[in-house]
Amino acid sequence: MRDLLLPVALIAGLFLPVEATHAQDTNAVTATCKDGTPFAGKTRSGACHGHGGVQSWGAAPATTAPVNAPPSSTTAQPAPTRSERVTPGAGQVWVNTPSKVYHCPGTRWYGKTKHGSYMSESEARAQGARPDHGKACTA
């Protein structure tokens, strides 16, 4: 009898952690990121990394619109932001508005700085912007 009890106890011990794990799944952490994407995980650590941080903790209601949702009115549309990925026209440069430096197509920072807008190179120079590293896009 004693020889039978030990293997049964060991087998039962193998199944107990599985049941405890399923109990923790109901305690999942949820959040809504600042860009409107949902987050679900076991801990708060790393929540919304790369999405601008956490806007709110808890389950996000299904009716919540993303933070960057366009307005429902069609009369006054705001200027497009970088996150909307406006496709630039031919000959357009990306002007970093705080630094007043413009970047040419195909360069590292073209369309990637936090604040900026697309415009023609001549328009950028007229507004006082200078080329990145002194290299103009057009010869």
pTM: 0.39
Tokens found for residue 132:
């990145």
Q: How much is the pLDDT for 102?
A: 93
CA distance between the termini of the chain:
93
Count other C-beta atoms under 10 Å from residue 102's C-beta.
30
Low-confidence ranges of the chain (pLDDT < 50): 18-24, 60-63, 83-84
Q: How far apart are CA 68 and CA 52, in angstroms?
A: 12
What CA–CA distances, in Å, run from 138 to 85, 117, 122, 134? Answer: 24, 18, 10, 12
Q: How much is the pLDDT for 19?
A: 46
